Chain A
């Protein structure tokens, strides 16, 4: 690796200055000798030419390596002097040149010996060159860094005015501090809204704002970590439930089968027949429970693939009605269906939406008071398709907030006791499925009236 170390650059500067002084001495020596008609012009011209060539060679080298640290590293490293706005730097440099010229004019009036002249020219030349090099190298670095024009007071002022008057930005945001605060505020709002991939580039901020930006980043990282952790836990829970359910299913298969075999044994004993009936019912319920459990945990952890299509909600409700009419009739329930004559198109996964609505129908079929009516209707309200199912509950329903909210939580049914059929997961499954597909699910309880609704946006 070829390095452009400060030592090398320093040596080049010294060499450049030596040659420059040599050139100046040559020029001034020639002038002095010509004026006094002294010879020795040849040696002085040689001095001048060598000085000129040498100083240019080293200046060219310095131009090449300005701002660089090695051949491989293409980054341009700026120094303190490059932070001064270009135009201000130019004004300073021009002022300095004027000062030198002003002093130099006085210098002309004084008559020197040759040796004295050489010393004076060398000293002044050296000083001017130091300032020139500082200025020149800085300009070169800016050109290389593409900031020659943009890092100037005029440009910054222009862009300030453009932002205020043309882009219409709030003038209060035009100071760096205000802008940085605004950016931080913006990021916090985005994080609060759930965009947890929002990060602030701390390097872009200054002073106090840098600290705030770093803290915002830390909070975001912590929050994101916590949510990831929660998703992982939810997945693990779902996996655990699935695995345990699989393990339960194998012995359950034997129980179901052997209870069925016992039933076929034509037992004489009335008690034994009763016991078998209980075993049969409970094993069937256990079977239902394990299946619902796997479903509910899969759905609530979002571990389910949706096939979203444009479907007709009216068609789906007629189809569902066809599946259920006999189950309702068996309990003396009458379905009163009121659906629009035309199609109502929504975006949903038909199979999953059926499962959600099926659970609501099942719920009504199981828990509605015998010989009552179950009302099913679909209405389009402000571009929303609202499906409602209402029934009179056979058991008292929880009236108060917390218990009612529990209706859609897992394992809770309308009644306190858990002796009847069903797993109590139906409403929870229906709610989670509806929400996964972007619909709204609501439950309303008023005395013995139980009403559930599913709302989807209508698509044209």
Chain B
């Protein structure tokens, strides 16, 4: 697998290269948007990591251009943390967004996840007892949960909570609703139990549990699985 890393800061590119090589990937490097587009044309690239603020052609425009001819996963790197920048990045066709300064392990996890998703996309099992939201799949017949093709081990209660939310994608469940559904008893003066389980599920299925992609917290209302994830 070959990964294209593009940033105008050479040291950042080199560091990312070291991490990716340690994980067994091959790395090609570019230092501006035009170089990146050249490499995409001339080499076989499986995934691109690209910075936003760069000379000549910035990452947003390069992504937009790349998307005209290529469907490989693209991860945008940026020093900006505003929601608007993320939305812009994802709108022009990026698959994921990582803010600087990033945790290198998180970046590697996202690269892996995107690649797995890209390569296993066609072989997603389907059936009556299979529920999916993006890369998150629950097969209720096998009682198996996978994220981007990789199996995740959940406790029975965690599994049941996730199944309830997956069966009702997009619907927000309050803590008492979840309690009544899973424990089958009335919630009298709830406590943190459900919230703690939810956090544990997030820690298992999300790359960054603080910015969940699948299991979203609707503060003051409840929890839901993002319908469009």
Contact = CB atoms under 8 A, between A and B. Distances in A.
Interface of A: 245-247, 249-250, 252-258, 260-261, 287, 291, 294, 309, 311-313, 315-316, 318-323, 325, 337, 339, 341, 348, 350-351, 353-354
Given A245-B79, A315-B220, A316-B219, 13 more contacts: A250-B79, A254-B11, A254-B15, A256-B102, A257-B15, A309-B220, A321-B192, A322-B195, A325-B192, A337-B191, A350-B220, A350-B221, A353-B220
B188 interface: yes
B5 to A, nearest CB: 12
B195 A261 contact: no
A318 B18 contact: no
A33 to B, nearest CB: 100
B217 interface: yes
Contact of A319 (B53, B81, B104, B195): B195
Nearest to A255: B101
Nearest to A322: B195
Given A261-B15, A311-B220, A322-B192, A253 B102 contact: yes
A264 to B, nearest CB: 8
Interface in B173-190: 174-175, 188-190
A318 B193 CA distance: 9
B101 A319 contact: no
B12 A253 contact: yes
B194 interface: yes
B152 interface: no
Given A322-B195, A322-B198, A256 B80 contact: no
Contacts of A256: 101-104
A322 B79 contact: no
A253 B101 contact: yes
A341 B187 CA distance: 10
Nearest to B107: A257
Interface residues of B, number: 36
Ranked 10 nearest A-B pairs via Cβ:
A322-B195, A311-B220, A350-B219, A257-B15, A316-B220, A253-B101, A321-B192, A249-B79, A350-B220, A354-B219
Contacts of B15: 254, 257-258, 261
A153 to B, nearest CB: 67
Contacts of B150: none
Given A250-B79, A325-B192, A315 B174 contact: yes
Given A258-B11, A318-B194, A318-B195, A253 B100 contact: yes
Nearest to A357: B219
27 contacts: A249-B79, A250-B9, A253-B79, A254-B11, A256-B101, A256-B103, A257-B15, A257-B16, A257-B104, A309-B220, A315-B221, A318-B195, A319-B195, A319-B198, A319-B217, A319-B220, A321-B195, A322-B194, A322-B196, A325-B192, A337-B191, A337-B192, A341-B188, A350-B218, A350-B219, A353-B220, A354-B219
B104 A260 contact: yes
B61 interface: no
Given A254-B15, A294-B81, A287 B101 contact: yes
B104 A315 contact: no
Contacts of A291: 81
Nearest to A348: B220
Contacts of B219: 311, 316, 319, 350-351, 353-354
Contacts of B198: 319, 322
Given A246-B79, A250-B9, A287-B101, A311 B190 contact: no
Q: Which one of A246, A257, A313, A348 has the highest number of Cβ atoms from chain B below 10 Å of its Cβ?
A: A257
A351 B192 CA distance: 18
Given A311-B221, A315-B174, A322-B195, A254 B80 contact: no
Contacts of B79: 245-247, 249-250, 253
B149 interface: no
Contacts of A287: 101
Contacts of A319: 175, 195, 198, 217, 219-220
B191 to A, nearest CB: 7
B199 interface: yes
A258 B14 CA distance: 10
Interface string B95-106: 000001111100
Contacts of B170: none
B195 A249 contact: no
A412 B198 CA distance: 34
B65 to A, nearest CB: 23
A246 B35 CA distance: 24
Contacts of B16: 257
A93 B39 CA distance: 100
Contacts of A254: 9, 11-12, 15
A355 to B, nearest CB: 9
A321 B9 CA distance: 41
A318 B188 contact: no
A318 B175 contact: yes
Nearest to A345: B220
Contact of B189 (A315, A325, A341, A350): A341
Interface in B199-229: 199, 217-222
B80 A246 contact: yes
Q: Which one of A312, A322, A323 has the highest number of Cβ atoms from chain B below 10 Å of its Cβ?
A: A322
A354 B222 CA distance: 13
Contacts of A322: 192-199
A257 B20 CA distance: 13
A313 B220 CA distance: 6
A315 B81 contact: no
A7 to B, nearest CB: 68
B101 to A, nearest CB: 4
Contacts of B9: 250, 253-254
Nearest to A283: B101
B50 to A, nearest CB: 14
Nearest to B80: A246
Nearest to A350: B219
Q: Which one of B15, B100, B103, B196 has the highest number of Cβ atoms from chain A below 10 Å of its Cβ?
A: B100
